[in-house]
């Protein structure tokens, strides 16, 4: 049924977008949902989302009880402000020029410091009775245990070019004349208003606040508790010696499984204890793939290093290393580096999970399923590292004695493999060096801007016609994404030997999320540079990680809007360049690893200068 919905929407081109003149029963969300998030959604020190959140007709209510363990909102939390007036978007701090002052501000009240941010008007087509929401995006990770304030000032202009008026409910509660239902909040908002003024904020037209908490505990729990695989199989050996086609540089592909801890009930969701931690459900079989390149055919026994590879969104390892076509040049990289590559699938985002993702877009109240399946995927990759390091799999006869067991394990991940991979590496100290190609974070911010989101956007519009309601759902969904979001694992990435490779104009993983993550882990920016990144120290190579480097595919840049970027190829281009492959192989080198070096001469790596 869901596949049919997608097919119909695809044929229609843009689904059931409503024009400004149309009306809908869902076009006017309850005011007590906005602004989001706020202290009004906290009870007894825990997040308490309302039960009447938007949902598809006949759909599943948002599973708010699954967040009851949380003591605050996300470290990557977007805020949504329900506006009752047209706003001049030019008066808002732009995505390309995030600010710590001006018309819309974020403040860390606990530290008494401003937070780098930008604000945008929702780019979705409006419905009758609504003006576009203002969405406030932090560009520095928020700190767990801290209180954050969102402030709208008189520098925000209306569509007529005049300063906005103070929001009536806020004006009245600060003045001590609250509207019904806000009497108990007078002291809170008066104190907030006074504190902001003491920090130098002027012209306040609206302010609200919320606490922040660490959302990474579920994944830290499963990666800490996942057992060493109790068994593995190698069921099939495919080889070019037998006439099997492989990508350039490929020689053998081994297919099998390994037994690991299962965290999913019905392969869909985790069962949580009272602390919000997943409960183990026995064991499950995970896919095992091992790739041996042509370059090690005649290598000395015990001399070949081992990497783990993390595939991209809705992919599988064979798409990169086992099929005849290798558009990402991962098999070529393995051949050039002379390494054996182990891989499994990211549960929740493998190729066959796309239909499940469509189901979620059709029934957004089940969003926790996709994030909890990815929790299983991260657990499976952690288990794969334990299989390699703590069992005899490297001595399996099919590997011909080639692996070097004395060399530490390395990781290379692309796209999703750079996002979920960063979470995995943060929770796997035994993997000492890792390269994340076009990875980022802040899932709820990434999704709307990703070219991959286009068909899901159509379905969301069909089921949740109100743009305000959709923004509310996207913003609160970050609470479900948190366990599998690198921003909740930055402390464990600080000081680590890791490298982020960014493609300018990436139409799937927005550059701003990669840069925000680089700032959060204290990464050093490898020169020569292409674009300035506030908050990052620039150094000539070689440098050690955490490190960050830019590549320029020289493609059309995505619009600065919360809408899907049109496919441009920027996301997938840079990993195919010789300079990028050499940098990856050098950083993950078996003898002198962890050194970020530039391989495109005296100027940055670009489509015109990809290295040789």
**Strand residues in 533-586 grouped as ranges (E):** 537-540, 547-551
Work out the pLDDT band at 32, boundaries 50, 70, 90.
Answer: low
Q: Give the mean pLDDT of the chain.
A: 93
The pLDDT assigned to 9 comes to 32
- How far apart are alpha carbons 79 and 151 in whole angstroms? 11
469 three-state secondary structure: helix
- The kind and range of the H/E element at 476 are helix 467-481
In percent, how much of the chain has pLDDT > 70?
95
The pLDDT assigned to 326 comes to 86
Work out the pLDDT band at 15, boundaries 50, 70, 90.
Answer: very low
Q: Quote the tokens at residue 542.
A: 């070689």
526 by Cβ neighbours in 10 Å (0-12 / 13-18 / 19+) ranks as buried
- How far apart are alpha carbons 461 and 1 in whole angstroms? 17
Q: For 155, list phi and psi in degrees, rounded to 5.
A: -80, -10
- The side-by-side arrangement of strands in the sheet containing 204-211 is 113-115, 104-108, 147-153, 204-211
Give 95-153 pLDDT, tens digit per residue.
999 999 999 999 999 999 999 999 999 999 999 999 999 999 999 999 999 999 999 99
Rg (CA), the chain: 25
Work out the pLDDT band at 18, boundaries 50, 70, 90.
Answer: very low
Beta strands at 524-527 and 537-540: parallel, antiparallel or unpaired: parallel
Work out the pLDDT band at 33, boundaries 50, 70, 90.
Answer: confident
The pLDDT assigned to 20 comes to 32
User: Residue 282 — left, alpha, or beta (φ > 0 → left; ψ -120 to 50 → alpha)?
Assistant: left
Crossing angle of helices 354-362 and 454-463, in 10° steps, is 30
Give 277-292 pLDDT, tens digit per residue.
999 999 999 999 999 9
Q: Say if residues 304 and 219 touch (Cβ distance below 8 Å).
A: no
Q: Say if residues 105 and 201 touch (Cβ distance below 8 Å).
A: yes
Lowest mean pLDDT among 48-57, 421-430, 489-498, 546-555: 48-57
Residues 6+ apart with CB under 8 A from 268: 369, 372, 373
Give 306-318 pLDDT, tens digit per residue.
999 999 999 999 9
């Amino acid at each position: 049924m869901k596949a049919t919905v997608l097919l119909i929407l695809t044929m229609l081109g843009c689904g059931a977008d409503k024009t400004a003149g149309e009306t809908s029963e869902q076009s006017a969300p309850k005011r007590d949902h906005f602004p989001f998030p706020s202290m009004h959604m906290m009870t007894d020190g825990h997040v308490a989302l309302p039960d009447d959140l938007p949902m598809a007709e006949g759909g599943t209510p948002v599973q708010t009880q699954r967040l009851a363990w949380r003591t605050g909102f996300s470290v990557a939390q977007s805020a949504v402000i329900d506006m009752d007036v047209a706003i001049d978007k030019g008066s808002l701090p732009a995505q390309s020029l995030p600010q710590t002052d001006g018309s819309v501000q974020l403040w860390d009240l606990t530290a008494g410091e401003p937070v780098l941010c930008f604000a945008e008007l929702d780019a979705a087509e409006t419905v009758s009775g609504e003006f576009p929401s203002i969405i406030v995006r932090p560009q520095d990770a928020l700190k767990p245990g801290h209180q954050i304030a969102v402030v709208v000032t008189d520098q925000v202009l209306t569509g007529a070019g005049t300063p906005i008026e103070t929001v009536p409910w806020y004006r009245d509660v600060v003045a001590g004349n609250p509207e019904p239902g806000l009497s108990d909040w007078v002291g809170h908002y008066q104190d907030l208003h006074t504190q902001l003024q003491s920090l130098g904020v002027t012209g306040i037209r609206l302010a609200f606040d919320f606490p922040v908490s660490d959302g990474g505990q579920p994944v830290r729990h499963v990666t800490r508790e996942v057992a060493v695989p109790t068994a593995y199989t190698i069921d099939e050996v495919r080889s070019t010696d037998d006439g099997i086609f492989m990508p350039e540089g490929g020689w053998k592909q081994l297919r099998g499984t390994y037994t690991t801890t299962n965290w999913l009930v019905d392969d869909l969701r985790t069962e949580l204890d009272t602390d919000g931690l997943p409960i183990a459900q026995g064991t499950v079989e995970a896919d095992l793939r091992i790739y041996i390149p042509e370059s090690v055919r005649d290598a000395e026994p015990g001399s070949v290093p081992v990497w783990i590879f993390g595939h991209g969104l809705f992919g599988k390892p064979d798409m990169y290393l086992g099929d005849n076509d290798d558009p990402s040049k991962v098999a070529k990289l393995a051949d050039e580096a002379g390494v054996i590559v182990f891989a499994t699938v990211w549960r929740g985002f493998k190729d066959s999970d796309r239909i499940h993702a469509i189901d979620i877009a059709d029934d957004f109240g089940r969003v926790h399923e996709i994030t909890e399946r990815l929790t299983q995927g991260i657990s499976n990759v952690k288990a794969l590292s334990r299989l390699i390091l703590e069992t005899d799999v490297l001595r399996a006869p099919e590997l011909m004695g080639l692996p070097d067991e004395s060399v530490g394990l390395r990781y290379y991940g692309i796209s999703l493999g750079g996002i979920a991979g960063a979470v995995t590496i943060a929770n796997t100290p035994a993997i000492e060096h890792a390269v994340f190609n076009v990875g980022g974070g802040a899932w709820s911010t990434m999704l709307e801007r990703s070219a991959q989101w286009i068909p899901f956007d159509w379905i969301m519009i069909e089921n949740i016609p109100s743009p305000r309601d959709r923004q509310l759902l996207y913003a609160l969904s970050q609470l479900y994404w948190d366990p599998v979001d690198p921003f909740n694992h930055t402390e464990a990435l600080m000081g680590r030997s890791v490298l982020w490779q960014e493609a300018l104009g990436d139409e799937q993983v927005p550059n701003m999320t990669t840069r925000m993550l680089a700032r959060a882990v204290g990464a050093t920016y490898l020169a020569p540079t292409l674009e300035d990144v506030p908050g990052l120290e620039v150094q000539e190579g070689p440098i050690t990680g955490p490190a960050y480097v830019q590549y320029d595919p020289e493609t059309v840049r995505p619009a600065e809007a919360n809408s899907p970027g049109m496919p441009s190829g920027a996301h997938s281009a840079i990993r195919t360049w010789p300079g990028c492959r050499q940098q990856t192989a050098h950083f993950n080198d078996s003898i002198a690893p962890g050194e970020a070096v530039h391989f495109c001469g005296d100027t940055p790596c670009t489509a015109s200068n990809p290295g040789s």
